[in-house]
Amino acid sequence: MKKKAIWIILLVISSVLIIGFNIYNVNKSIPISLAQVHEGELSEKVYAGGRLEPIHTYSHYPETTGIVGKVLVKEGERVTKGQPLVSLAVKELERQLEMENNSLRMIEAELREKEKQHFESYKQLSVQGGDASKLEKPSAEVYELRVRNQQLSIEALKRKIEAGVIRSEGDGTITEITAKEGQSLQPIQPAVTVTDLSKLRVRSSLNELDAGKVKSGMKVLITGDAFPGSYQGKVVYLSPVAKVTPPAKEAVVEMLVELDSVSEELRPGYNTSLEIRLPADKHVLAPVNAVRYEGEKAFVYKEADGRAVKVPVTVGKEDGEFIEIVSGLAPEETVVAKPPEAIREGKKVKVTKP
């Protein structure tokens, strides 16, 4: 009997404690901090990958078939526009040029001799009292044509000899030499490649969604695993068409980004990451951590007279820190920042400093 009484007493005490604890919790204020809703720009970014490449690359081909006489440069060497790179063997052409020049002098000498003979004949007939006016003059027109044809042959040979020296089309660095001394070089074979490493760009592509957001002239942040620094650039080209390149199934738009400046740590062929910050309009913004969700419905908590008030909101885009409030809140209002798990509609709350 005594044992049963003890159990009854313990049960009563437990019930009283539980009721008291629940009453305490009901009346206990949940500490909260507030954040202000404000109007501002929501930063949206587009990300893409790409590869560095030179803007200007000059591949030099011989104008005519010839034997390489001498390679005048080395890989890695800097050259300037017009600088000789490779010379072809032109001794045979030079011998032909000498022969053509001799032929021209012979034609000119022949014409002078004919004119001299005509003059002597004219003088002799005049002295003898003959009719010198009937004496036929040498045809100057025929000789002029012969001289002109010879001059054209000489000019053609000079051009061939000049073409025997391959000169750089621009300033840059020698990045490839395929010509070798004694090698027969064809006009379809590049002899030397010169690359301008002072101006680089990134060749990239955008998916269909991002391509509609990016415009030519937008600023771009360029980074990469192969170099520690970051570089600024701008979009200089967006393809007017989208292409599907196997094995990818998604259509992409080609994009070119030109770097504002370069340094020696950058090399064509490096992989890069691109970040494009898109311009934004003003929006009503709240901290991302102030918004809660029940299914697809979003809401926030406000504080009114020491109690939590649940406010439904419609949200839009976010940038990781702030979220767009399409409806439900106005600038300058305050909301509960990062609502505690225990908070509910009507719960007592107490504002504390963040």
Tally of CB atoms within 10 A around 259: 20
Inter-residue contact 52 to 195 (CB < 8 Å)? no
Beta pairing, strands 271-278 & 219-224 = antiparallel
What is the C-alpha to C-alpha distance for residues 18 and 42, in angstroms, rounded to an integer?
49
Question: Can you list the alpha helix ranges (DSSP code H) found in the chain?
Answer: 2-27, 91-128, 140-163, 208-211
What is the C-alpha to C-alpha distance for residues 31 and 298, in angstroms, rounded to an integer?
22
Provide the 3-class DSSP secondary structure of residue 3. Answer: helix
pLDDT value of position 8: 60
Beta bridge pairs of residue 132: none
Cβ neighbours of residue 234 closer than 8 Å, sequence gap 6 or more: 217, 218, 219, 220, 257, 258, 260
What is the C-alpha to C-alpha distance for residues 60 and 73, in angstroms, rounded to an integer?
13
Task: Output the tens digit of pLDDT for each of the chain's 354 residues.
Answer: 455 656 665 565 555 445 444 444 445 688 988 999 999 887 788 999 999 999 999 999 988 778 888 999 999 999 999 999 998 766 666 667 577 777 778 877 777 777 676 666 666 665 566 655 555 666 667 777 887 887 887 787 677 766 678 899 999 999 999 999 988 888 888 999 999 999 999 999 999 999 999 999 999 999 999 999 899 999 999 999 999 877 777 899 999 999 999 999 999 999 999 999 988 778 899 999 999 999 989 999 999 999 999 999 999 988 888 999 999 999 999 999 999 988 999 999 888 866
Q: 152-182 as b/e, with b when 16 or more CB fall inside 10 Å?
A: ebbeebeebbebbbbbbeebbbbbebebeee
What is the C-alpha to C-alpha distance for residues 124 and 106, in angstroms, rounded to an integer?
27
pLDDT value of position 151: 81
Kindly report whether the global pTM for this prediction surpasses the value 0.75: no
What is the C-alpha to C-alpha distance for residues 306 and 301, in angstroms, rounded to an integer?
12
Beta bridge pairs of residue 307: 304, 348
